[in-house]
Amino acid sequence: MPKIVTITDITGSTPFNVYLCDNPVTICVYVDSISTLPYSFEIPTILQSQDDFNLKIEDDNGCINYTILTI
């Protein structure tokens, strides 16, 4: 069964570039550029064996925020 991540809240300037990274951050996979929430996506194949991740969000001003996720 695929693992799904849902983003419900982001602060900053739209649009947001969404990346999913392993933990610790060595590999990051670009997911999408989004402007509306909530937003859900399936964990990319290369990262599906992981149990925890870093969600990397970059806003339109170049500000980057990391959030640790445990699935």
pLDDT at 52: 93
pLDDT in tens, 26-71: 999 999 999 999 999 999 999 999 999 999 999 999 999 999 999 8
Whole-number Å distance between alpha carbons of 38 and 59: 16
Quickly list DSSP for 10-66.
--SSSSEEEEEE-SSSS-EEEEEEE-SSSEEEEPPGGGTT-SEEEEEEE-TTS-EEE
Contact 42, 29 (CB under 8 A): no
Model confidence at 13: pLDDT above 90: yes
How many CB atoms sit inside 10 A of residue 47's CB?
Answer: 17
* 4-70: CATH, from 2.60.120, 2.60.40, 2.40.128, 3.40.190: 2.60.40
pLDDT at 2: 81
